[in-house]
Amino acid sequence: MSGAPALEVDLQVTVGRGASVFTVEARFSLPAGVLVLFGPSGAGKTVTLRAIAGLIRPKRGSVRLAGEALDDGMRGVHVPAERRRIGYVPQDQALFPHLDVLGNVVFGLPRAERKKPGPATLALLDELGLSALRGARVDALSGGERQRVALARALAAEPRLLLLDEPLSALDRAARFSIGRSLREALARRSLPAVLVTHDAEEAAAFGDVFVQFERGKPARELPREVVLGEKGPCPHCGKP
């Protein structure tokens, strides 16, 4: 391992066309752990996440993962999404409706592994509590189960970084708690750095090591946790200050 931070981002991304063009500027760095992109909707959090995934090409700036340049406007570097090994769990999970739970989880694996899932896949299903659901249709799943499948699908491809867009926001309280715990454990077990988008202060506090605040029309800034969270006190889930 080099001493480089897990993720370094210094971006200017322009999205939209015609009258609805807007530009997002973000600059932050994550030594390790979970970085939280925090702020109201429409402030550019998801755009930033998609740029890190390589799905949008930034107008200028750079994205570095463990020191490796994935985007570098100055040198014309833009590694395509399929070669970044960055897992992405979008807000609506985007499960493949033509495949069952197992088909979704193994989607990013080589053909042999898709035909006959090996021990790593079975262990992953077990880890996320999906073993009993492996043959289920994804449109028959609850919100929490969908989130678990999306998480398993991203983890199965052994990403170097995980991007999560509002992973808990659509869930009820019980599901938030159990998925939140599975997620934290999954990241810790793999020492996997993650970027998590949320507009929820409680969720931010529960996960974050580093906080970046997004506001409409302003460049996103890295801020101390107390400032971002408005000095909310300890998190009710994990007891972190």
Partner 1 sequence: MESSTSFPILLSLRVAGLALLFVGPIGLAIALLQARVRYRLRGLVDALVLLPLVLPPSVVGYFLVVVFGRRGLLGRMLEEGLGVRLVFSPAGAALASAVVALPILVKTAQPSIEAVPSRLEDVARTLGLRPWEVVFRVTLPLAWRGVLAALVLGFARAIGEFGATLMLAGNIPGRTNTMPVEIFSAFQEGDDARAGLYVIVLSGISVVVVLVAGLLGPKEGRAPA
Residue of the chain from 53, 130, 192, 210 that contacts partner 1 (CB under 8 A): 53
Pair 101, 93: CB distance under 8 Å: no
Closest CA to 130 of 159, 163, 164, 104: 104
Beta carbon of residue 108, minimum distance to partner 1 (angstroms, whole number): 3
Pair 88, 108: CB distance under 8 Å: no
The window from 34-42, 96-104, 128-136, 227-235 that contacts partner 1 (CB under 8 A) reads 96-104
The window from 24-32, 78-86, 186-194, 212-220 that contacts partner 1 (CB under 8 A) reads 78-86
Counting beta carbons within 10 angstroms of the beta carbon of residue 213, is it exposed (0 to 12), middle (13 to 18) or buried (19 or more)? Answer: buried
Closest CA to 36 of 24, 49, 47, 23: 49
Residue 86: strand pairing partners: 161
The window from 76-84, 175-183, 190-198, 232-240 that contacts partner 1 (CB under 8 A) reads 76-84
Closest CA to 62 of 21, 4, 13: 13
Q: Pick the closer one to partner 1 by CB: 113 or 202.
A: 113
Q: Pick the closer one to partner 1 by CB: 17 or 75.
A: 17
Q: Is 134 in the site for partner 1 (CB under 8 A)?
A: no
Residue of the chain from 80, 217, 233, 234 that contacts partner 1 (CB under 8 A): 80
Q: Is 117 in the site for partner 1 (CB under 8 A)?
A: no
Beta carbon of residue 113, minimum distance to partner 1 (angstroms, whole number): 12
Residue of the chain from 4, 66, 79, 157 that contacts partner 1 (CB under 8 A): 157
Tokens 């991007």 correspond to what residue?
Answer: 163
Q: Is 96 in the site for partner 1 (CB under 8 A)?
A: yes
Residues 6+ apart with CB under 8 A from 207: 34, 36, 180, 183, 184, 194, 196, 198
Pair 192, 162: CB distance under 8 Å: yes
Q: Is 88 in the site for partner 1 (CB under 8 A)?
A: yes
Beta carbon of residue 50, minimum distance to partner 1 (angstroms, whole number): 7
Residue ranges in contact with partner 1 by CB under 8 A? 17, 50, 53-55, 80-88, 90, 92, 94, 96-98, 107-108, 153-154, 157
